[in-house]
Amino acid sequence: MPKVNLYATFRDLVGKGQVQVEGRTVGEVLEALIKAYPALREELFEGEDLAERVSVFLEGRDVRYLNGLATPLTEEATLDLFPPVAGGTFAQRFGALPAWLLERYLREWGGRKLEEGVYALPGARVRFAEVEPLRVGSLSLPQIEVAVEGEAAEAWFGRLHLAAARGGG
């Protein structure tokens, strides 16, 4: 049964950070999730379409760059659902910042790994997932979606942004 990781306000609406939901496609899994947690419908959809402000990743790839809601899933699939960013959360997609390098920065800054793609820093939590690489001709650059939340989110996001911009810690 596919797993769904829920972040920020989605986690708050459901009451847990991960659920397992039946479904053979992204759309079926989201519909089953909404059936179990009806408050998610208006957060996830605009009419019949996935809301533009919501990010849904399958194994680190944005489903919009796959087959959208029709993207097929295996029983072992993992979806990551990121809500729109507001308030004490800062998010951005970084190009040419691979996940392994971000994890190295987070460890060097005293971060503690909580689970795959989630680190705790003093006063903040960092969540990240790899997304579709940026392709320009034959060049392919990794991209990563990063969200930092918590009372110290702005400071940590600034530090992360600076490290990513310089290409070093």
For the whole model, what pTM was predicted? Answer: 0.55
Q: Which domain holds residue 112?
A: 89-166
What confidence tens digit (pLDDT) does each residue in 76-88 have?
A: 999 989 876 544 6
Q: What is the mean pLDDT of the chain?
A: 86
Other Cβ atoms less than 10 A from the Cβ of 134: the count is 13
Is there a single domain that holds both residue 13 and residue 30? Answer: yes
Asked which of 82, 115, 132 is the last residue of a domain, the reply is 82
Asked which of 47, 82, 117 is the last residue of a domain, the reply is 82
| CATH code of the domain in which 131 resides | 3.30.1370.80
Query: Tokens 């940590």 belong to which residue?
Result: 156
Is there a single domain that holds both residue 120 and residue 158? Answer: yes
**24 or 133: which carries more pLDDT confidence?**
24
Asked which of 60, 82, 104 is the last residue of a domain, the reply is 82
- What's the mean pLDDT in 129-146? 83
| CATH code of the domain in which 67 resides | 3.10.20.30
Query: Tokens 């009806």 belong to which residue?
Result: 38
Q: Which pLDDT does position 88 carry in this prediction?
A: 60
**H-helix or E-strand containing 106?**
helix 99-108
**28 or 124: which carries more pLDDT confidence?**
28
The pairing of strands 55-58 and 61-62 is antiparallel
Question: CA-CA distance, 155 to 136, in Å (whole number)?
Answer: 32
Is there a single domain that holds both residue 96 and residue 58? Answer: no
Is there a single domain that holds both residue 106 and residue 65? Answer: no
**Whether the predicted pLDDT of 129 surpasses 60:** yes
